[in-house]
Amino acid sequence: MKYAFIDDIQSWAKTDISMLPEIETPDDVQIYPIEYSPGIDEPIDQWIQLVIDGTNKQFIKHNNVRVVLFDLFEASKFVYNAAKLLNTHLQKKIYVITCDQLLPNRSTKDLHFIFHNFWSGRMLPSKRVLFSSKKLYINCTRVVRPHRAQLIEELINNNLFDLGYNTISDKGGELTNYLNNTTTSKILDQKFHVLDVNNLININPNNFVPIKQCEKSFVYIATETLVDNNRLFFSEKVYKPIAIGMPFMVLGNPGTLKSLKQMGYKTFDKWFNEDYDNDINLADRIKIITDNLNYYRNFTKRELDVIRFEMKAVTTHNHKVYKKRCAITNLEKLKTAIQGIINE
């Protein structure tokens, strides 16, 4: 293998880079990998200086060396700026393998962005759930980002909270931060569910779902990591209901459903108003989701069972598409992306 690893700067640069696949490369081509390590929306000033100071500029100046920035996990806000700064300071074309679907549209002769769908396949496809209605929805929250808190508040305000399964934690102190900045929240007045994980602060269930509760829920509400219109990022959350054959609504970046359709999936516009996927005010998007739930709140168990049966063709189709996509492992997909850089 002909990789050149960053071994002369901070240990963070080695941690996840070690997961890169081994690739047979021509003798005259080498990869210089850099892991993008700041938090999802953290400033990059200190990090970029560490990278620039620690980079072996004599090594990377050769034409046979490809500098590759890896942003595999969270579509971080400042990846484009980081790539541009690296290009300026290192005087080298920068390749970026990113989980942001929009960044490849910003590629130039000096910056080459390649989309890698890391989270597709994180949760392996399982046997499809056998639905028997007990709750109207399931909404699993771990990190309380503002849009997730707003959705929970609207569920409470619409008397929908007790009609579903809801989880919550104070991971990273995000719930505390949210409550410290509002005087009207009713979140602490609610009784949240403990499903298959007792300690959501220390355990991240990113590769499994509470199957028993999913089987008793009419629809899965996936609240994605991001909701802004500057990125398009899918974490494991959007794939969880697909992997188990459930209908879903997604509060994520505008265009999420459109992108899923482009990947071959089907959505549930026959049964839900999916205008929540449009690039409109967040409060309006959340209202459309709660309006969808309100529409079904008084349906009988039998009526919900009939509708879920109608949805079966869509959930089965999605499950098959996901299963087919999972036949190609993430490592294989990453290897293909890197091989393309090597061959350029």
Helix, strand and coil content of the chain, in percent to the nearest 5, comes to 40, 10, 45
Q: Where do runs of H (alpha helix) occur along the chain?
A: 12-15, 45-54, 57-60, 79-90, 146-157, 174-180, 211-215, 236-243, 256-262, 282-296, 301-326, 330-343
**Residue the block writes with tokens 């100071």:** 53
| pLDDT tens sequence for the chain (344 residues) | 444 444 433 333 333 445 565 666 666 788 888 888 888 888 888 888 888 887 778 878 888 888 999 998 889 999 999 999 999 988 999 999 999 999 999 999 999 999 999 898 878 778 777 788 899 999 999 899 999 999 999 999 999 999 999 999 888 888 999 999 988 899 999 999 888 777 777 777 777 789 999 999 999 999 999 999 999 999 999 999 999 999 999 999 999 999 999 999 999 999 999 999 999 999 999 999 999 999 999 999 999 999 999 999 999 999 999 999 988 888 788 888 888 888 88
Q: What does the pLDDT read at residue 19? A: 55
**CB contact set of 217 (below 8 Å; sequence gap of 6+):** 131, 133, 134, 135, 136, 137, 138, 164, 165, 246
Query: 60-66 long-range contacts, Cβ below 8 Å, gap at least 24?
Result: 60/32, 60/90, 60/92, 61/91, 61/92, 64/28, 64/29, 64/30, 65/4, 65/29, 65/30, 65/31, 65/32, 65/92, 66/29, 66/30, 66/31, 66/32, 66/93, 66/95, 66/341, 66/342, 66/344
- Rg of the Cα trace of the chain? 22
pTM: 0.90
Q: What does the pLDDT read at residue 25? A: 63
Buried b (16+ CB within 10 A) or exposed e, 292-325: bbeebeeeeeeebeebbeebeebbeebbebbeeb
Question: What is the sign, positive or negative, of the torsion defined by CA atoms of 98, 139, 137, 279?
Answer: negative
Q: What does the pLDDT read at residue 209? A: 87
The domain limits of the chain are: 12-116, 135-326
Taking the alpha carbons at both ends of the chain, their separation in whole angstroms is: 18
